[in-house]
Amino acid sequence: MQMESTKDAIYTIPEVAEMLSVHRDTVQAWIEEGKLGSVKIGHRTVRILQSDIDKFIRDRHMQSNYPPKRIYE
């Protein structure tokens, strides 16, 4: 039996800020508010998965008339 693995791109806060055209403090605030999922690695290191970015974008666009876009590196 073969197991399927799901690969998800992993980004830093500055990378996500650049992708979403916002300041890195905004991304940090979204994480602290629970609006954007993240993974904490160690004491200070935070990474954001592509799937968390996609969910964040979908959730934000549910209130707008525009369909969500997937952001690629």
Tokens of 38: 């993240």
Task: Say how far apart CA 51 and CA 42 lie, in whole Å.
Answer: 21
Virtual CA dihedral for 15, 72, 5, 60, nearest 10 degrees?
Answer: 80
In a domain, 3, yes or no: no
Asked if residue 1 belongs to a domain, the reply is no
Q: What is the pLDDT of residue 23?
A: 97
**Looking at the domain assignment, is residue 40 inside a domain?**
yes
Per-residue pLDDT, 24: 97
Q: Are 33 and 25 in contact (CB under 8 A)?
A: no
Q: Is 38 among the domain residues?
A: yes
In a domain, 68, yes or no: no
d(CA 56, CA 16): 11
Condensed to tens digits (0 to 9), the pLDDT of residues 18-31 reads: 999 999 999 999 99
Q: How many domains does the chain have?
A: 1
Residue span of the structural domain in which 30 resides: 10-61
- Taking only the tens place, the pLDDT of each residue in 12-67 is 999 999 999 999 999 999 999 999 999 999 999 999 999 999 999 988 876 665 55
**2 is a domain residue:** no
**pTM for this predicted structure:** 0.74
Structural domain includes residue 42: yes
